[in-house]
Amino acid sequence: MTPTVRARLGTVLAAAVPVVFVAVLFGYPVAAIVGRGLAPEGTLDPEPLRRVFTDPALRGVVWFTVWQAALSTLCTLVLALPGAYVLARLRFPGRSLVRALVTVPFVLPTVLVANAFLAVGVPRSLGAILLAHVFFNYAVVVRVVGTRWRNLDPHEAEAARMLGASRWRVAREVTAPALRPAVVAAATITFLFCFTSFGVVLFLGGPTRTTLETEIHRQTTRFLDLPLAAALSVVQLAAVLALLWLVGRSERRAAVPARLRAAREIEHAPRTPGAWVLLTANLLVMTALLLVPMAVLVVRSLTPPSGFGLDAYRALGDLRRGSTLFVPPLEAVGTSVRYALAAATIAVVVGGLAAWAGARSRSRWLDGVLAVPLGVSAVTLGFGFLIALDEGPLDLRGSAALVPLAQALVALPFVVLLVGPVLRSIDPRLREAAAMLGASPGAIRRRIDLPIAARALFAAGAFAVAISLGEFGATTFVVRPDAPTLPVVIARLLGQPGEAAFHAAMAASGILMVLVVVAVVVGDRARVGRFGDF
Amino acid sequence: MRRPRSRAAFVRVPVTTICATLVATLVATLGATLGGVPAGAAERRVTLVTHDSFALSESVLDRFTERTGIEVQVLPLGDAGQIVNQAVLTRGNPVGDVLFGVDNAFLTRALDANVFERYRSPAVDGVPEALRLDPKHRVTPIDYGDVCINYDKAWFAERRIPVPETLEDLTERRYRDLLVVQDPSTSSPGLAFLLATVAEFGPDRWQGYWKRLRANGVTVVDGWEQAYYDEFSGGGAGGDKPLVVSYATSPAAAVVYADPPITRSPIGTMTGSCFRQVEFAGILAGTKHRAEARRLVDFLLSPGVQADLPLQMFVYPAVADTPLPAVFTANADTADDPYTMTPARIGARRDAWIRAWTGTVLR
């Protein structure tokens, strides 16, 4: 076997792992439930699909889903891009805490966030949906774009300025093209999240606003109209595939290699009055948009009817003790953390292999494949699990392994997004030099690729931990009843009668917030040498 | 600023350690959890599929295990509608042995799909005829409760407005913008309240009633949590509507879970607005533990469980003459003459009514 053939084989094998992972845990269950709906007797019945496009109410649902997601994405980009810059480039006291805090909303249960929004006077409306979507997805932009921005070599921009280009021209012709892949990726993910957003639309939109996701949920869990639910799922899937295909195509043409440098060599304290204004304005936006709703939750957890204090946290450990519903809070924290670590490890290994394979080929189809699960209804996937994973070696129903596997499925695209660009930016001359000095391909991977990617892998892992901690949609279908995660505990508390349960749910979400902050701060602090600082 | 040390020494150790630690965690988690999966038929166990609000005292379940040697695993899989749909989807290869929590609103869907096998528990003799809704004994009634409108006592007392008594009263001008209900297409109590209005006004006039309710400013939200905590002024979480669709036992729950303790409930029940819900248990067809499943159904009707139900799930025990806790008799309500409807009628018209309701109230 020649070295080239062996290298190509390695790439193919590395790509095969994520593909098989997604095929088994996503493709097969979704195909099973959609198949049951559209071809109950083995022959395809196109009638439900026709209904989606002929029934004006359902057509309206499709259209509303698309435009609210597009508008939400736009709002998120407009508000979060400046924030991403500030957090990536400006050095100021407390920055790493702010970075961690803006990640917290991403993992909070929608039902509590909705309550907080309503409590500060936001009425159920389209505006509330948009605001909440910005609230939840701000972190996506800050993470995905910020990671790129932190390491983008400002040398070219400075050179262009020196040669007399205006600020605006530099931004448009130098910085923007270099950032573009990250912005497109963040926008795509945000769009997918808003496209399949469930709780936000249901709780903050009010019952008159229906998206594909809420309609699939309604048809599946209420009417048991599997044909219609399957048809809606197919439409949802087709829209997601079309979007990812378009994005992949435009990105292949627009790919611009960018020079990366260690973040600490680029970032600086705000020097000009303009920089101070930018910093202050963004911190204000973050406070109003992100911190206020979070603060409402924290304050409510500290002010149960019995007065200010930790009673709600104590209630978490006492309420319903001795009942089958009771789970000691520490146990739920332990369960959540163990699942999250396992899920993050799976996501980092599988996603790392995908990023590595992706970096060695020009095509981006793998990134797209891994993002598809984000764009598909959790209830479709959950019911798919139920009827597909019930026999033979795939009999995973009731197995706890399914929880981290399902969570890893959600975290996977982020790992690829955060690690891929770093691997792609490794200067090929570095590898060539090492090879010339006699390093074997294995040694190059170990001594060059891995150390450089290590920090990105670590940060991605921390983000994967955060995602898994907050994951609710898929987890709720596969979680073992005696070992619920924190979001499941919160949901159960909210279904119980009595005010004490409501405040205990707030307390549980307070604990969830702390866990997320710890995960992100640890992930951001981890440094593996100078070359790891990417 | 501290400069990084040379990379050769720095890089290898942490990466390997970190990877090793994470892989060890992964293996430990998967190992521990996979190891917990039942190994086979050696031990006697039975799985109870139920809704998320299911609760019993741990000690009561333990007594069952002590007496019979059968271990019970409780598997909550969503709300009443979801568990029925999941049972229909997994018919023949069910995830559990007994399903508890199907109510009269979804009963026919489960029965029509043949998800249950017949079993007549001897204990069913103690249950009043009115609750035994399946003459073929595919399901066994376990408990019942009333979905009713609750009101915030203080709100009405302060304003000296009389509390509404009938469904028709709610369309009066003085009750404008006061009522919050749930969408029947997403919520069990929402569906029960819709059925109450159909039972009261009949198939021709119920939509007209909802048109008047809508004109009088009814608020519709997705689920019970949103209605009770986000909107209801008596829920203690910042709402401002004094009338909400909830349960006749909610006043008792408000006392039991009050902190600091109170003796008189801050909320009351409009007993003229109630719809009776009956919850059933059934043995899932395809069970591999038929004998154990039957013991479990008998157990659900045993005095120990029946007496435990009120304070665990805030429902009334199905077996007549089961003693009720004092806080229940003092604060929980039951309607003397609640609205009812046969499961067959609900099953035949339910989805059509929900769609018509959506068209009338939301569009």
For the record, the structure tokens of B298 come out as 């008998």
- For the domain A1-34+310-534, what is the CATH code? 1.10.3720.10
Residue type, B84: V
Continuous H helices in chain B: 7-35, 58-68, 80-89, 107-112, 153-159, 188-215, 224-225, 250-256, 290-300, 303-313, 326-331, 343-357
Q: Does B149 or A101 have the greater pLDDT score?
A: B149
Out of B23, B57, B312, the one facing A345 most closely (by C-beta) is B23
Per-residue confidence band for A534, with pLDDT thresholds at 50, 70 and 90: very low
Average pLDDT, chain A: 84
Of all residues in chain B, the one with the smallest CA distance to A220 is: B85
* Chain A hits for B30, Cβ within 8 Å: 342, 400-401, 404
Contact A221 B82 (CB under 8 A): yes
Interface test with A, best of B64, B187, B222 (most A CBs within 10 A): B222
pLDDT score of A368 more than 60: yes
The answer to whether the CB of B72 falls within 8 A of the CB of B64 is yes
* Chain A hits for B258, Cβ within 8 Å: 305, 498-500
Contact B37 A387 (CB under 8 A): no
Question: DSSP per residue over A266-332, as a string?
Answer: H-B---SHHHHHHHHHHHHHHIIIIIHHHHHHHHHHH--TT-SSSHHHHHHHHTTTTBTT---HHHH
State the span(s) of chain A assigned CATH 1.10.3720.10.
Answer: 1-34+310-534, 46-256+263-302
pLDDT tens for A266-317 read: 888 888 898 999 999 999 999 999 999 999 888 888 888 777 888 888 888 7
Query: Which distant-in-sequence residues (6+ apart) come within 8 Å of A192 by Cβ?
Result: A240, A243, A371, A374, A375
Strand partners, B98: B48, B283
The pLDDT of A395-407, averaged and rounded, is 80
Please name which of A527, A511, A525 lies closest in space to residue A104, comparing C-alpha atoms: A511
The pLDDT of A402-424, averaged and rounded, is 85
* Strand B179-182 to B219-221 pairing: parallel
Predicted pLDDT at B287? 93
Contact A224 B88 (CB under 8 A): yes
Out of A36, A304, A339, the one facing B259 most closely (by C-beta) is A304
Predicted pLDDT at B36? 42
d(CA A420, CA A255): 13
pLDDT over 70 percentage in chain A: 94
Per-residue confidence band for A392, with pLDDT thresholds at 50, 70 and 90: low
Contact B59 A322 (CB under 8 A): yes
- Chain B segment 38-77 residues within 8 A of A by beta carbon are 52-59, 61, 73-76
Predicted pLDDT at B4? 39
Predicted pLDDT at B6? 35
The pLDDT of B337-353, averaged and rounded, is 92
Predicted pLDDT at B7? 36
Q: Does B259 or B352 have the greater pLDDT score?
A: B352
For the record, the structure tokens of B251 come out as 């006043």
The answer to whether the CB of A512 falls within 8 A of the CB of A107 is yes
Interface test with B, best of A200, A323, A430, A506 (most B CBs within 10 A): A323
Per-residue confidence band for A473, with pLDDT thresholds at 50, 70 and 90: confident
d(CA A444, CA A291): 45
d(CA B283, CA B267): 38
Per-residue confidence band for B1, with pLDDT thresholds at 50, 70 and 90: very low
Out of A458, A501, A531, the one facing B257 most closely (by C-beta) is A501
Contact A118 B25 (CB under 8 A): no
The model's pTM: 0.84
Highest mean pLDDT: which range of A193-202, B102-111, B192-201:
B192-201
- Chain A segment 469-498 residues within 8 A of B by beta carbon are 476, 480-483, 491-492, 494-498
pLDDT tens for A424-443 read: 777 677 777 888 888 887 78
Per-residue confidence band for B199, with pLDDT thresholds at 50, 70 and 90: very high
Predicted pLDDT at B133? 92
Contact A324 B74 (CB under 8 A): yes
Q: How many residues does chain A have?
A: 534
In CATH terms, the superfamily for domain A46-256+263-302 is MetI-like (1.10.3720.10)
d(CA A152, CA B242): 57
Out of A304, A323, A401, the one facing B56 most closely (by C-beta) is A323
Q: Does A300 or A81 have the greater pLDDT score?
A: A81
pLDDT tens for A45-74 read: 888 889 888 988 899 999 999 999 999 999
pLDDT tens for B241-292 read: 999 999 999 999 989 888 788 888 999 999 999 999 999 999 999 999 999 9
Q: Does A386 or B172 have the greater pLDDT score?
A: B172
* Chain B hits for A481, Cβ within 8 Å: 73-76
Contact A305 B260 (CB under 8 A): yes
Of all residues in chain A, the one with the smallest CA distance to B188 is: A222
Predicted pLDDT at B9? 34
d(CA B315, CA A404): 36
For the record, the structure tokens of B109 come out as 């869907």
pLDDT score of A228 more than 50: yes
Give the H/E segment covering residue B278: strand B267-284
Q: Give CA torsion, residues B20, B22, B28, B33, to 10 deg.
A: -150
pLDDT tens for B13-50 read: 455 555 566 566 566 555 554 444 444 444 788 999 99
pLDDT tens for B204-231 read: 999 999 999 999 999 999 888 889 988 9
Strand partners, B245: B149
In A179-212, which positions are buried (b, 16+ CB within 10 angstroms) versus exposed (e)? bbbbbbbbbbbbbbbbbbbbbbbbbbbbbebbbb
Q: Given CB atoms, is A390 within the 8 Å cutoff of chain B?
A: yes
